[in-house]
Amino acid sequence: MKKAIVLTADKFEDMEVYVPIFRLLEEGWQVDVAAPKKIEISGENGYSLMPDKTIDQVNPDYYDLLIIPGGSPDGAPATVRKIKKAQEITNSFFEKNKPVASICHGPWTLVEADVVKGRRLTSYWHDGVPEDIKKAGGIWEDKDVVVDGNLVTSRHPMDLPFFMREVMKMTGK
């Protein structure tokens, strides 16, 4: 059974968390959600969930896919990007060339993990995300989905069909 880990926190973008989870579950994946604490977290649009584990408990070697969804600039992405263990998990996936999928403000964690230099990717258009990607040496593109090696990125919830199509291709579906 393939296993995915989703790194998020309170004030996540509901669709960017739930659509990937549901799509992967449909294909028989085990999907775990990790947050800073193992307490219920809420999405910006009213959905909530109980994380399976804390980010500190995640062993990246156990997982086949890393998903870093977005949320508002002062919500989940701002929280996750500052967590050293989230950066270490991201680095581990890149070092092993395992699939990483990030959408909206999620690429902020990629910037903090210092894995975007020379890589093509996209993100939300505002709130400084493209500028942070460029400052970190990434090549930002305004497209619904960008695939660069083991990395799939998209801009916002309306890109989820394109995002998940490429995630599923990359993971062997």
**What is the domain partition of the chain in residue ranges?**
3-170
Q: What is the pLDDT of residue 21?
A: 98
The mean per-residue pLDDT over the stretch 44-53 comes to 97
The mean per-residue pLDDT over the stretch 112-128 comes to 97
pLDDT at position 16 over 90: yes
Task: Give the global pTM.
Answer: 0.97
Residues with active-site annotation = 104-105
pLDDT at position 52 over 80: yes
Reported confidence tier of residue 173, pLDDT bands at 50, 70, 90? low
Element (H, E) at 168: helix 160-170
DSSP conformational letter for 48: E
Reported confidence tier of residue 172, pLDDT bands at 50, 70, 90? confident
Q: List the end-to-end C-alpha distance of the chain, in Å, as a whole number.
A: 13
Q: Are 149 and 93 in contact (CB under 8 A)?
A: no
Q: Are 16 and 104 in contact (CB under 8 A)?
A: yes
> Which residue shows structure tokens 């294909």?
27
Residues in the chain: 173
CATH number of 3-170: 3.40.50.880
